[in-house]
Amino acid sequence: MIVAETAAGYQFVTQPDHAALAGQFADHWGREEFDRPEPFAPVVLAAYAHDDGWHDYDRRPHLDGAGHPVDFRDMPTDVWTDLYDNGIDAVAETDSYAGLLVSMHGAGLRNQRYGLSAGWPETPPEFEDFVEREHRRQDRLADALLDATDRSFLTAADRRLLQSLQGSAGVPDDYDGRLWGDYRRLQVWDELSLAFCLTDSPPGYGEIGGVPTTGTGADATLSITPVDPDTYHVDPYPFDTAPLDSHIPYRTVDDDAVTDAESLVDAYYDAGRETRPITLVRGEE
């Protein structure tokens, strides 16, 4: 659950709803200097399904020991790893390449995103087993993809990339595969969705850097600027349609309605499900 404090209480957005928004961004990605994902279907599946493990857990909000709703950034280690284990399992069973991307996403969250977030803490000891398990999973999935005649888009360069990333050596200088770009696009869609889910007054942050561009072009930085409460300039504009209309489902709960875990669940469902429209437009509009 993504929990944002409001003037009177809390806003809740489920992780699957956040992932659905990321998936909609993936659906329409590709314009001028921004390559359309290729292969398209498994990459978009990864965007939609990267938080599938949260479905059951997010049916109800949870309280921490101090009586505050638990935000996804403050999860107990064992709960967090179980959710990601189960979610990655489900995606990998559906599509191996999507599963590989989602495994990289999950492990990367506890491994400085393989160098994209070098300022994050190094892997905490309590997450080392999770990261190592996912690295073994990535190896299995990559090997199976290399052996599969219908998944020829994964290359030996991508296999070497995985080995280098897992060893904290970064991207090889001669790398010419597609996996790194697809992983980075998944990170961009995740961040862009979070920008609209982390607060009741989006965007939660105004820039997203490290955005892959066409071919070997330099990375771009997307700026997000409010035009009105529902409309936002995105510059440069990476989508194949303009405007791009979407929405965020959410629930809000007053602080004084929460006295214990059960009262939080009651207040959460009593509040009803609302939607906030989002319209993304090109920067010059």
Encode pLDDT of 60-89 as tens digits.
999 998 889 999 999 999 999 999 999 999
Q: Which residue has the tokens 């993809």?
A: 145
Encode pLDDT of 254-277 as tens digits.
998 889 999 999 999 999 999 999
Q: Provide the H-helix boundaries in the chain.
A: 15-27, 40-49, 77-94, 96-109, 128-147, 156-166, 179-197, 261-270
CB 264 within 8 A of CB 59: no
pTM tops 0.85, yes or no: yes
Q: Write out the residue range of the structural domain in which residue 22 sits.
A: 2-282
Computed over every residue of the chain, the mean pLDDT equals 94
Please tell me the total number of residues recorded for the chain in this structure: 285
Q: How many domains does the chain have?
A: 1
Residues in Cβ contact with 113 at an 8 Å cutoff, skipping those fewer than 6 apart:
120, 187
Split at pLDDT 50, 70, 90, the class of 285 is low
Tell me the C-alpha distance between 86 and 264, whole Å.
Answer: 26
Q: What's the pLDDT score for residue 109?
A: 96
Amino acid in the structure at residue 127: F
Encode pLDDT of 112-144 as tens digits.
999 999 888 889 999 999 999 999 999 999 999
Reduce the DSSP state of residue 234 to 3 states and report it: strand
* Sheet with 2-5, edge to edge strand ranges: 2-5, 9-13, 244-254, 274-282, 231-235, 220-228, 207-211
Q: What's the pLDDT score for residue 98?
A: 97
Rounded average pLDDT over 13-31: 97
